[in-house]
A and B are shown apart, each in its own frame.
Chain A
């Protein structure tokens, strides 16, 4: 059946079986391979995307259910080609990634957190990323990255909302 997916501001129509997950639609039909396939049953958080601005797992949603909703993937965060978002930059600077597998999900989760709570406590950061599993970097540097991003956000002149988005 025809499904209309609005991803990173661009609307594209795909022909999908109802059983196609949003994760597979993004990767195989739209070639947005930054949305990572992990456990495929909603445990690991590697496939986290933003749906209407809120983090959700792309493997726990059939593409047909996402018809017409606003989806943001990791490819949609950078302000321009070759650039990084403030959160992505902070992840690089604090070395908050090693293999990088969990990183897109972590970064999208962090973006949503900082948009709703520009000055999160360490506990709030830990809670926010508790649904995203990292198996190599360790969570310490990831938490540091989000703290750094929050500090930079607070110090920037741009409106907080625009910066985090």
Chain B
């Protein structure tokens, strides 16, 4: 299994990378290459040129803003995993990252690469959608922000233009004192693609009432899905077991569920409800254990 021939460029700036992408519509960005290289080895991808953005300094950073953690597109997943404030400020992402591939692939794989690749089972896109984050994309034509909701269009399909470079990813942080989160997934083996994954982050007031709720499911649908109706229905309540499951089941019942040789839509739908329910309850229990401000 060897890749087809291609040209290789290693630009030193985003502007230079965008210029190279504009000149050749079959050129593709490579960052960590942990998905693209196997795709090329199997000849499922045959780019004419690889534009290597892995060493562009302006793309490798992690910045703690007051209301978000902003990550450069070519930042390694392992670097984000080790970021000092991650567990406290983005506990959901801190819990999801160990599920991304294996340590050896996280050492090379990038945060932006996982998002631009848009695998329906990928964990980082699910967290981005669940937390209602956004990305920034630059091309020779424009520099724009795209909300996670508008970004993922289907399996390996995004709203990113072919000549655009994903420059940064914005993960919103919450400031509630009583916050909890949970992440779970089901796959054949740890590190394999998830059949279904679920993420939740919950915040409670001093009285135990839900003041913020974000729930998402991945793997089951063509793109990660935020359960907006269920989240809205649970706001103001106490997240009791039955009501939570009912709200989640009602929304998942209406979703288009994927089919592939590994799992039937009926299985995926059932597991999605169970996992989403479990993560909300786990996030709720964690939030309850926190002292009110």
Q: How large, as a class, is the contact surface on chain B?
A: 20 to 34
Q: Which residues of A contact B78 (CB under 8 A)?
A: 54
Contact residues of A: prevailing secondary structure: mixed
Q: Is the CB of A51 within 8 A of B108?
A: yes
B3 contacts chain A at the CB level, 8 A cutoff: yes
Which A61-80 residues sit within 8 Å CB-CB of chain B?
61-62, 64-65, 67
Q: Which residues of B contact A119 (CB under 8 A)?
A: none
Q: Which residues of B contact A130 (CB under 8 A)?
A: 102, 190-191
A19 contacts chain B at the CB level, 8 A cutoff: yes
Which B1-24 residues sit within 8 Å CB-CB of chain A?
1-8, 10
Q: Which residues of A contact B2 (CB under 8 A)?
A: 19, 21, 24
Q: Is the CB of A109 within 8 A of B104?
A: yes
| A128-B103 contact given A17-B5, A65-B30, A65-B54, CB 8 Å threshold | yes
Q: Is the CB of A42 within 8 A of B34?
A: yes
| A60-B102 contact given A17-B5, A51-B108, CB 8 Å threshold | no
How many Å lie between the Cα of A127 and that of B6 in the bound state?
36
Q: Is the CB of A60 within 8 A of B37?
A: yes
Q: How far is the CB of A47 from chain B (nearest CB, A)?
A: 10
**Which residue of B7, B98, B105 is within 8 Å of A42 (Cβ)?**
B105
Q: Which residues of A contact B41 (CB under 8 A)?
A: 21, 40-41, 59
How many Å lie between the Cα of A58 and that of B5 in the bound state?
18
How many Å lie between the Cα of A57 and that of B7 in the bound state?
22
Q: Is the CB of A60 within 8 A of B50?
A: no
Q: Which residues of B contact A85 (CB under 8 A)?
A: none
Top 9 closest pairs, chain A to chain B, by CB: A131-B102, A18-B8, A41-B38, A54-B107, A55-B104, A19-B3, A40-B1, A60-B37, A131-B104
Give chain A's interface residues, CB within 8 Å of chain B: 1, 17-19, 21, 24, 40-42, 45, 48, 51, 54-57, 59-62, 64-65, 67, 109, 127-128, 130-131
Told that A18-B6, A45-B104 touch, could you supply 8 new A-B pairs with CB distance under 8 A? A17-B5, A19-B2, A19-B3, A42-B105, A54-B78, A61-B37, A64-B10, A109-B104
Q: List 17 A-B contacts (CB under 8 A).
A: A19-B3, A41-B37, A42-B34, A42-B37, A45-B104, A51-B107, A51-B108, A54-B78, A54-B107, A56-B104, A57-B108, A60-B33, A61-B33, A62-B3, A109-B104, A127-B103, A131-B105
